[in-house]
Structure formats: C-alpha cells, structure tokens
Amino acid sequence: ITKTEGFKNVNLGNCYPKSKKEFIQYTKEADIDSIIKYNEEAVFVTVALHELLGHGTGKLFVRNKNGEFNFDKSNLKHPFTGGEISTWYEEGETWGSKFGKISSAYEECRADSVALYLSCFPEILSILLPGREQEFDDIVYTAWLNMASAGLKGLLFYSADTKQWGQAHIADRYAILQVLLEAGNDFVKIEETEKDGKPYFYFTLDKSQIKTTGKKAIGDFLRVSEIFWY
C-alpha cells in the first residue's frame, strides 16, 4: 500500500513519558528546565513530522518489466548534476532488499532529518501547535536538543565487538549527531568536566544557530541522503 497510497500513521500522545529532572543526564540546568517544560510539545512536533512528512513522502524510482518508468525520466533532473536520472530500481526490488540491514536505520535517519529541518518553518508549527507562536523557538530548541543528545546517549546500545547498533532509531540519531558536530561554529559541543568527583560531561546546543548553522547542515545532509534513497 505504501507504493500507491502512502503510510498509515498514528499519534500516541497519551503515551509520551513525562520528563523528570532526576533522569535527565549530561544537560545543564537551563536546558533541563526547557526539556521539562516543552518536552511533550517537542516530541509531538518531531513525531508528527517524522511520520507524516519523513516516512510519508518520497518514492522509489522504478522501471517495470516493460521498460516503463514511474517517474518522468525525460524532464526530472538530478539535483546535483543537472542531468537526467541515471539509476533506478528494477521491478520487484525494494529499498530493504537492496540495502539489507542498513536500510531501516537509513530510512529512520531520513525521517528524523526531515523532522528537524521542517521544524524550522513557523508555517508548519502553526498547523501543529496553533496559538503557541510565542513558544515556537523554545519548543524547536527542545526538539533539536532531544534529537542530538539521543545520539550521544545511544552509544550505550552500540556493540564495539560486533560493530552493530541495537536499534535503527538509535543509529540514525548518532548519525545526525555527527552531522551537527561537523557543522562547526560550536553549534553542538561536548564539554568535559567533573561531577561528584568523577569524570562527567555536558552536552550543549546553541539555540541561536538552529535556523542557520543547524538548518543548513541538516538540509545538506538530506540532499545527499535523498539521492541514495530515491
């Protein structure tokens, strides 16, 4: 059904956990307050955009057994080269069959990146959270902070012995974290310190750079990843 109609999605808003201060790690006090206050809205925005416009958009370019394409091969141009599309899937091939184990993590990474990028547009937030315009910046900040810090915390689910991630969403958020770290301008920083006499670190994300450094980094990442997905 996803090839012709699209994805079916649900919102489990009544199941979102409440953030508790004692369970929030590696985060400075001011950011903890933001997470506690806006986590529910931030999760709602990212999940909605992840499911509806992340998983729910895009299609595989396919040539059927009769040599016909499901896209306009003559007029659709490659966004990097400006030339015609030169690769596609053959009939019966799927994203999963071609890329195996990495396919799930890659698709989750695409959906989460879409969610972060589109969260920067107030027009979209006005649809999801009407009447909350004065809080948009704080909600988006919490959403980005949650996503990036999840990549760091997800290291607990990586096996150094097998070089495997325990879950597709965790692998995708680690990849997004690397993109944001490589964005530069100290947009995302990991500050080593001590706490209670033991080594510790704080994770920070510059709120003022989300719509500049952050948006550009995720946008560039999406353009590259979309080419391989299609």
Residue positions annotated with a catalytic role: 51
- CA atoms of 3 and 108, how far apart (whole Å): 18
Task: Provide long-range contacts, Cβ within 8 A and 24+ apart, for 151-155.
Answer: 151/175, 151/176, 151/177, 151/178, 152/26, 152/177, 152/190, 152/203, 153/25, 153/26
Residue 217 tokens, joined: 């980094």
Contact 147, 116 (CB under 8 A): yes
Helix, strand and coil percent figures for the chain, each rounded to 5:
55, 10, 35
